[in-house]
Structure formats: structure tokens, C-alpha cells
Structure 1
Amino acid sequence: MDPSTLPVDIFVTSLQFTKNTYQDIYPAIDPTLPSLSLAGKVVIVTGASRGIGGHGIVPAIAKAGAKGLVLVGTNHDLLVANEAKVREINPAIKTLSVATEISDPKAVANLFAQIASTFGHADVLVHSAAIGVGNGKFHEEEPATWWKNFEVNIMGTFNLAQSFIKSLPSPTTPATFINLTTGGAWGIYPYMLSGYNISKLGALQLGSWVAAVYPNITVINLHPGLVETEMHDPNFARFNKDTPELVGGTVVWLASEKAKFLTGRTVCANWSVDDLVERKDEIVAGNLLTIGLQGKFGKDQFE
């Protein structure tokens, strides 16, 4: 598939699940809505120094009135700069910045130790951090570089999710885990980096597994759409872009009670949340928006 031959809106329309779609923030996901308030909650955001996390999710969490915000990334100076911007948005919020290599279990354990001493525990984990590295076509990939995607995107997700679960005061404590993914996790795009896409599929399934095993935790995988970031693939330069604010507002909505029926499922930031709510019964009854093998299965079909 040659990207230059595709319509500029292909990555919205080809994944369209709701009648209405958006590429920028809209009223239902306005993070300042009282119905979406995060008052009293502590939120962790990984990838908070830059990109979607830093420019979209972190400001939205601040606008939603969270009690506390933990900014996690690899660049301490950028985290501190974003922390200052958060306090400009919401002077009442308590912040904590922790430079962390999420692929390192000890570093993640240290992160949650600092969260425990500062806040007790966090209520929401928004996992936006990821890498996409590679050397070109699949047969040209350097194995160590290819595997680096898995160390960060899967091992990092495992470390964060495990520590988050362990940090909750009890096995019944309500919590939310919003796990950013990509359409490349389930779609095959040969011009994209294979290590990135395949590792993100593993991280997506990890999120769905946590949802199945821990009913107290609402887990939703979020495809953010096509947002211009430092990781942006040049193959996508000609296509319509989504704003960081769209993703930030969607994250705040997903952290609300309204989204609990989506646990274990994958959604796209372009989809109308109002339309998703209208299709709630259909989504739950049909177990829609989940990853599975297509086909007709079961011995009954042969009897």
C-alpha cells in the first residue's frame, strides 16, 4: 500500500465506528465540565515531558481539577517545565515529577515509592510513554534495536501496570488504567516500523488482560489518532492531523464513570463519546471493540 495514494482523511474514516467523528476537542469531552471532574483524584501520566502526554493529556488533567498529578518521563528538565505550566492552569493541584526509565523495574518501583510517600496512592494511570525505533524494512532491522521497542512498550507497560495494581490499598479499590495504543497494533501497515506496531499489540493485550483479571480496575486502550509529535512517522505527513487537546479531553472522559462500560476494550479518540454511550448495550452484548481471531469456531458447526 502506497501512502501517497490514500485520501487525506483515511485514518479517520477507515477506523470510523461512530456516526460522528472529531479531530479537535468538542463539548462532550471538555475537561472543565463538572461531570468530568477529577477532584480528589491523583493521576499518573507517563510520557508527560513531550508529545501527546505533555502537550495534550497533562494540561487536560490539570483543567479537570485533579487533586494530584504525577508527571513521568525520561527528561527531568522538560518534566519540571511542564509541572510549572500545570500550576499555571490549576494553582491548587499538587504535582510530582519523576524522571523514570519505565523499562527498568527498579526505577518504576522507585517511582511508586515516591507516589506513596507524597500521595498515598494514585487513582488513575494514563500510560502514554512509548518508543518507535528501527532501521528500515523488516529484513534490514538490527535485532537489538528492534527489540528495544519491546523493552519499553511491553516491559515498560508491564512494570507500570504491576506496580500500579500493587500500590492500591485493597483488591477492591476502584482504579482506572488508560493505555494509549495505535491503529498499527491491530492493522498491518507495511510502511510502519514492525517493532513498534507489534510491541504495541502486546501492550494493548496486556491492558485487556488486566481488565479481565482485576474487576476493580477499569482498563481502556485508547488509539489517539494521528497527532503531530516528535515520534511522527514522515509517511503520515500529508494526512489530516488530530490535536493533542482531542486526546487530552478524551482521556478525561475515559477516566469518568461514563466510560466504565468500555473496560477491556479499545477506542479511538476520533469517535464521538456520545455515540459510544448510545451504542453501550450493543457494545457490551456483542463484546465489540476487542481483539480476536475472525472466523466461525466451535464443534457444533460440524455436527
Structure 2
Amino acid sequence: MTRFRFADIGNQSGKTVLVTGANTGLGFEIGRHLALRGARVLMACRNRAKGEDAIARIESEMPGADLQFLALDLADMESIRAAVDRVANEARLDVLINNAGLMMPALGYAHGVEQQIGVNHLGHFALTGLLLDRLASDGGGRVVTQASIAHRGARLDLDNLDARKGYDRNAFYKQSKLANLLFTLELDRRLRAAGSPVAALACHPGVAKTEIARHVGPAKVVLPLIGWLLNSPQCGALPALQAATDPQAHGGDYFGPYGLAELRGSCSGPAYISGNARDASVARQLWTRSVELTGIDPALPVG
């Protein structure tokens, strides 16, 4: 597979793509580039004012862009279900990009567990599970989940998802990103076992200069000093755009920046997956626990 660049994003006219966390950072750039290539983009985020502002910014660059705000709070199951109901009114759904996330906030909760695993993984697990039939019915879409190089060296502690045995926000962030990859690879195995036309892929942005680090105190001082080393939000969006649009991409693929140990780069390609992320036994355990915690069962056979 050759390296993927912005010029390789083909015409997306006729496709509908849902992007979570689309009002800022990576999500905004993902939605922007898809809209510029002709896709209808459902800009999913919690805050209507910020979502509509993001839409206005894209429309100022491309009048007539096909964009729609979609209210979505991944920490709230009622909000997730309501968003799915609204998507049911769309003519089609071709790609779901699970991009939104939290990074190292103070301890909080979502879906009965610590909020990073709750939002970054469980919220997207539920959203994906509820949209799989729709993605399949429109000819076989893609589920693209944003992971991170932070998954390397991470360990999933299924006995402490609620942080009652201790909370280290960095460790919890890393395990949420490990969960994203475990979920993607398990979803891919199960979709294949079911003979589904839907493909599950993952990506990571390198280390991109976005608002996701707003909860990390030292980042406010360090990022302005080392910003030149980091990926821009636009370049950080490229791996997700490859996963969403590259005709050569397949289920189970994982993309990241090509350059400086996958930290940054203006092109994208296959990325490194840790041994822990490839552990199918742990992935099955995470799947079972995710069904229990969300009440959403995608009803896919074990691959």
C-alpha cells in the first residue's frame, strides 16, 4: 500500500459520513476535507453553537457544502439513541468516524465507569452498535475509530474501569485508546464471521496540536514551545481520511502518519499495533463488558 496524501482523497459525492467531535481539531478537519470532496457530513458534537460555527467556517470556504449539525453527547445514552434516530431520517450512511474523545480530565464518570473509557470507548461502542445495520443496508460502509500511539504499553484493567481501586488519568487515557484498538480489531473479526459488508478500521493522528490536551496543565506551557514538532490538526486528520476513503483500505487496517516515529507527517500509511491490542482474548472480554455496561448488543458472532 502506497503512502496516502490529501490529493489521494477521491470524489465523495453521494456519500454520507458521520463524524463525532466534528466542531474542532481533528474532527473539524476530517469533516472539512470530506465536505470539500463532495460528501454530506453529519457534524456530531455536544454544543450546538460550536457545531454551527464549525459548519459556517466550512461553508465560508465552500458555499453550498452539504453539512448537518447532529447533537450527540457520548456520555449520555439517551443522547446517543436520539442521534441514531435522527440518522434514520438520512437517505444513507456510508461511513461512521468515531473521532471524539477526552484526554486526562479530572476524575468523572460516564456509563457507570471512568469517563475516558466511558466516552472514548463505550460511547462509540454504543453508537457503532446501533448504526451497524444502517451501514450494512447501504451497501457496506466503514467504521473508523480514532486510536492513539498512547495505546503502546497500555494495559486494560477490566476490574477497575470505575477507578474505585485508584485513578491515574494518564493510565486511564492510555487504556481508553487501547480499548479503541481492541474494539476495532474485535469488530473486524466479528463482522467477517457474520459475512457483513461493513469494514472496521482504525487510525491515529500522531501527536497533533489540538484542544484535546486542554485538561493537561503542563501542556499549556509545553505545547507552544514544541508546537513545531507536532502534527497540525489538518495532517493529523489524514490517517482518518485514508481509513474512510482509500479504496485499497480493508477491515482491520490501522493508519498513522509517516514521519518521525509516527508522531507527525504529511502522508499516511499502515501504523504499528502493539501486542496487547492484538490480544483477541482480552478483546472478547472487553466486548462482553461493553455490552453489559451499555445495554447495546451488536449481536455479532465471535470471530
Structure 1 length as normaliser, TM-score? 0.70
Q: Structure with the greater relative contact order (CA < 8 A, sep ≥ 6): 1 or 2?
A: 1
Q: Which residues of 2 match residues 151-230 of structure 1 at below 5 A?
A: 151-168=118-135, 170=137, 173-188=139-154, 193-215=170-192, 216-230=197-211
The change in CA–CA distance for 1:289 and 1:265 in structure 2 (over 3 A counts) is farther
Question: Gaps (5+ residues) in structure 2?
Answer: 156-167, 260-264, 280-303
Question: Where does residue 44 of structure 1 map in the other structure?
Answer: 18
Q: Which residues of 2 match residues 53-68 of structure 1 at below 5 A?
A: 53-54=27-28, 56-66=29-39, 68=40
The answer on whether the counterparts of 2:47 and 2:71 sit within 8 Å (CA) in structure 1 is yes
Residue 214 of structure 1: CA displacement? Answer: 1.5
Residue 192 of structure 1: CA displacement? Answer: 6.9
Counterpart of 2:117, as a letter, is F
The answer on whether the counterparts of 2:26 and 2:233 sit within 8 Å (CA) in structure 1 is yes
Q: Structure 2: how far apart are the matches of 1:62 and 1:91? A: 11
Do residues 258 (structure 1) and 247 (structure 2) align? Answer: yes
Question: Where does residue 132 of structure 1 map in the other structure?
Answer: 103
Counterpart of 1:91, as a letter, is P
Residue 184 of structure 1: CA displacement? Answer: 1.0
3-state SS of 2:206 partner:
coil
Counterpart of 1:197, as a letter, is K
Q: Structure 2: how far apart are the matches of 1:46 and 1:197? A: 20
The change in CA–CA distance for 1:133 and 1:169 in structure 2 (over 3 A counts) is same
The change in CA–CA distance for 1:187 and 1:60 in structure 2 (over 3 A counts) is farther
Residue 91 of structure 1: CA displacement? Answer: 3.1
Do residues 29 (structure 1) and 5 (structure 2) align? Answer: yes
Q: Structure 2: how far apart are the matches of 1:149 and 1:268? A: 22
Tell me how large the CA RMSD over aligned residues is: 3.3
Do residues 243 (structure 1) and 232 (structure 2) align? Answer: yes
Larger radius of gyration: 1
The change in CA–CA distance for 1:99 and 1:132 in structure 2 (over 3 A counts) is same
The change in CA–CA distance for 1:91 and 1:73 in structure 2 (over 3 A counts) is same
The answer on whether the counterparts of 1:266 and 1:289 sit within 8 Å (CA) in structure 2 is no
Residue 46 of structure 1: CA displacement? Answer: 0.5
